[in-house]
């Protein structure tokens, strides 16, 4: 037949290749077996632990990790992410420089879901760290932490040192949640940050970061961030936290961007701090997004650090809310808004400044709050000022009624 090759001497096989072709088909290597052990490590003291990453369950109960260099490291991208992963630590202790860290990859990996629960944990000069892009569909909760910090913690394999309870380093959350809640922390050192984000913290694909109901005593900043990008229906929120003493609740070192139906909330926080918000660069809010600054109490401190330049750029589809806060001064010597496109909404009012409630546009302007589109009335709620308007149908008795896709108390 014309489709059959007739080989010269030294050539082999149906295609006359220059080497012999085996007649049998070599089967593929079997898929690596995933360890299915769901048992827990209980009541032990460890310094270093060589973890088997190729398993679906990791559980530690009443375990102590102690000493500089002691690390419990979960390399998430080395796990069998095609299966659901569950990591649980309950009642554990991290002491004298020990580190609990979760490491992702250069890019977001596809996953069937990763659940991480760290609760009822004691930390003494130790840190919880997340690094790089975490897999999709992470559900992370760090709750009920009792922390005291007296010296900087060195992260294994890096030159980084930190004096914080939670460290984020170039973290990307995609279709994921990270909750940091009910943490009580105290430091004896200067220049400590309760939460510290190095590089860029990126929230995409409907992700959320919540820090709520935490107390940080004698920390310089509650949350110090270099850069923040919140986009694609994502939420960043600091809610109901306290700082008995400090410089700021939120320190922004570089650019913040909130876009594409996303929300940045600083709501219900309190403390004897110099400023609620310190900013070194521009905040941009665009494409139907919301900056929600409500009900914060900084006592005699200022709401904003005076940078002598406006720092919020807002497009015509987005909203800024500044209501219900108590402060010694606004801290503003220039307008808050550096750029405002036609159609923007700035809801402000019911602010107590130096013991006096500001209720009119003229009073707000005398305290540096200009370009307000709606003056909020104390005790009254509006769809634009108290809810995420794009996903809210109406407010009834100060409760937001959510449209499809809206969730929680403010949709």
| Matching residue, tokens 């007296």 | 150
Assign residue 53 a region: left if phi > 0, alpha if psi is -120 to 50, beta otherwise?
A: alpha
Whether residue 79 lies inside any domain: the answer is: yes
Cβ pair 361, 389 in contact under 8 A: no
Cβ pair 208, 180 in contact under 8 A: no
| Matching residue, tokens 């405002």 | 340
* Residues 184, 188, 192, 195, Cα dihedral to 10°: -10
With 60 as the cut, is the pLDDT of residue 255 above it? yes
Q: How many domains does the chain have?
A: 1
Quote the pLDDT of residue 191.
87
Per-chain mean pLDDT for the chain:
91
Per-residue buried b or exposed e for 48-74, using 16+ beta carbons within 10 Å of the residue's own CB: eeeeebebbebbbeebbbbeeebbbbb
- Specify the range with the lowest mean pLDDT, choosing from 9-18, 26-35, 188-197, 358-367: 26-35
Average of per-residue pLDDT across 17-32: 59
Whether residue 382 lies inside any domain: the answer is: no
Average of per-residue pLDDT across 384-402: 91
Task: Kindly report, residue by residue over 77-93, the tens digit of the pLDDT.
Answer: 999 999 999 999 999 99
In this prediction, residue 31 has a pLDDT band, given cuts at 50, 70 and 90, of low
With 60 as the cut, is the pLDDT of residue 23 above it? no
Whether residue 337 lies inside any domain: the answer is: yes
Whether residue 397 lies inside any domain: the answer is: no
Q: Which domain holds residue 90?
A: 57-372
Whether residue 27 lies inside any domain: the answer is: no
| Matching residue, tokens 């999709």 | 136
Residue 72 CA to residue 129 CA, distance in Å, equals 10
State the DSSP string of 326-364.
EESB---SS-SEEEE-TT-EEEEE-EEETTEEE-SHHHH
Average of per-residue pLDDT across 119-145: 97
In this prediction, residue 159 has a pLDDT band, given cuts at 50, 70 and 90, of low
Cβ pair 288, 259 in contact under 8 A: no
CB-based contacts of 3, cutoff 8 Å, min separation 6: none
With 80 as the cut, is the pLDDT of residue 73 above it? yes
In this prediction, residue 32 has a pLDDT band, given cuts at 50, 70 and 90, of confident
Whether residue 255 lies inside any domain: the answer is: yes
CB-based contacts of 245, cutoff 8 Å, min separation 6: 217, 218, 271, 272, 273
The dihedrals phi and psi of 365, each to the nearest 5 degrees, come to: -65, -35
Whether residue 47 lies inside any domain: the answer is: no
Structure tokens given for 146: 């009792």
Average of per-residue pLDDT across 228-243: 98
Task: Kindly report, residue by residue over 330-388, the tens digit of the pLDDT.
Answer: 988 888 898 889 999 999 999 999 999 998 999 999 998 999 999 999 989 889 899 99
Percent of the chain with pLDDT over 70: 94
The two beta strands, 114-124 and 85-90, are parallel
The dihedrals phi and psi of 94, each to the nearest 5 degrees, come to: -120, 120
With 80 as the cut, is the pLDDT of residue 214 above it? yes
Q: How many residues does the chain have?
A: 411
Average of per-residue pLDDT across 322-330: 96
Quote the pLDDT of residue 26.
52
């Amino acid at each position: 037949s014309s489709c059959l090759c007739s080989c010269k001497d030294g050539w082999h096989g149906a295609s006359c290749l220059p080497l012999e072709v085996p007649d049998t088909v070599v089967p593929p290597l079997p898929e690596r077996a995933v360890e299915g052990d769901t048992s827990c490590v209980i009541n032990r003291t460890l310094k270093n632990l060589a973890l088997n990453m190729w398993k679906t369950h990791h559980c530690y109960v009443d375990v102590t990790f102690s000493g500089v260099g002691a690390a419990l490291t979960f390399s998430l991208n080395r796990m069998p992410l095609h299966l659901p992963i569950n990591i649980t630590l309950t009642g554990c202790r991290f002491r004298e420089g020990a580190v609990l860290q979760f490491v992702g990859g250069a890019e977001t990996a596809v996953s069937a879901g990763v659940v991480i629960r760290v609760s009822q944990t004691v930390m003494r000069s130790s840190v919880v760290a997340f690094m790089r892009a975490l897999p999709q569909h992470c559900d992370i909760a760090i709750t009920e932490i009792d922390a005291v910090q007296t010296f900087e913690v060195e992260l294994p394999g890096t030159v980084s040192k930190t004096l914080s309870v939670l460290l984020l380093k170039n973290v990307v959350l995609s279709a994921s949640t990270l909750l940091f809640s009910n943490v009580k922390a105290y430091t004896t050192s200067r220049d400590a940050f309760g939460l510290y984000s190095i590089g860029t913290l990126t929230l995409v694909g409907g992700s959320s970061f919540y820090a709520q109901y935490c107390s940080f005593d004698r920390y310089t900043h509650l949350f110090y961030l270099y850069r923040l990008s919140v986009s694609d229906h994502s939420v960043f929120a600091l809610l109901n936290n306290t700082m008995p003493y400090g410089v700021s609740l939120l320190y922004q070192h570089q650019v913040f961007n909130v876009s594409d139906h996303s929300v940045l909330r600083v709501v219900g926080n309190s403390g004897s701090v110099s400023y609620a918000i310190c900013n070194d660069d521009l905040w941009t809010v665009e494409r139907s997004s919301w900056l929600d600054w409500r009900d914060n109490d900084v006592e005699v401190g200022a709401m904003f650090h005076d940078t002598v330049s406006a720092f919020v750029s807002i497009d015509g589809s987005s909203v800024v809310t500044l209501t219900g806060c108590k402060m010694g001064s606004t801290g503003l010597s220039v307008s808050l808004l550096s750029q405002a496109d036609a159609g923007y909404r700035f809801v402000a009012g019911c602010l107590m400044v130096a013991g006096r409630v500001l209720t009119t546009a003229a009073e707000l302007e005398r305290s540096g709050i200009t370009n307000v589109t709606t003056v909020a009335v104390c005790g009254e709620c509006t769809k634009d000022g108290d809810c995420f308007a794009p996903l809210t149908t109406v407010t009834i008795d100060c409760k937001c009624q959510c449209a499809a896709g809206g969730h929680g108390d403010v949709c």
